[in-house]
Amino acid sequence: MSRLRLQDHDMPLRTESLEEPQLNLTPMIDIVFLLIIFFMVGTRFSEIEQKFDVDLPTAAPVKPRSSLPDPLIVNVARSGDIMLDGTKLTANELMTRLKQAKENWKDQGVIIRGDGEGRYQAVVDVINMCHLTGLKFSLAYDPQGAPDGGAP
C-alpha cells in the first residue's frame, strides 16, 4: 500500500485579500450631464418662441349635443307612397335624405310607419334603404289594435 502524499504545491492557497467590486459612475454622470444640457436647450427654444408679440384669435367653445336627435318618421301609405316630414318623396329622394341624416348625426334613428293594409314591399324598400345608409330603424305598430288587445 502506497500512500499518496500531498505536496505543498498541489493545493492552491490564496494569501492575497479579495478585491471588492467597484462601480464605475463615470458613464452615468456623463449621461446625466447630457440630459441636463438637452433640457436646457429645449427650454430655451420655447422661451424664444413665446417672445414674439402675437394676438391670438379667439373662438367660442363648441358645446356637444347632449341628446340624440329626434328620429325621422317615414310614413308608408297604403298605396306605397313614401312621406317624410309631410312631403311625398320618391325612393331616390328618400335615400338622399337618409344619407344626409347619417352624415349629420351618425346615431340618427328612423321610425317606419307602414299602413297595416298597405303594400308590404314598400315597407321592405324603406327598411333596405335604412340598411344601406347604416341608420338604425324601428317599425311602428299600434299595440291596442292587436287581436288579443295588446296583452303580452
Instruction: Please give the average pLDDT of every successive group of 10 residues along the chain, which has 152 residues.
Output: 54 67 89 92 67 69 69 88 88 91 87 85 90 88 65 49
**What would the grid cell of residue 46 be?**
420655447
CATH number of the domain bearing residue 124: 3.30.420.270
Q: Please give the tally of structural domains in the chain.
A: 1
Q: What is the DSSP letter of 134?
A: T
Sequence letter at residue 22? Q
Please give the pLDDT value at position 4. 56
The reply to whether 64 falls in a domain is no
- Is residue 9 domain-resident? no
Residue 51 lies in a domain: no
Domain assignment of residue 124, yes or no: yes
* pLDDT at residue 27, rounded to an integer: 92
**Grid cell listed for 116:** 297595416
Q: What pTM did the predictor assign?
A: 0.52
**Is the residue at 117 inside a domain?**
yes
Chain Cα centroid distance, residue 65: 17
Q: Quote the cell numbers at residue 41.
A: 436647450
Q: Which domain holds residue 116?
A: 72-142
pLDDT of residue 26: 92
In a domain, 108, yes or no: yes
Q: Is residue 78 part of a domain?
A: yes
In a domain, 57, yes or no: no
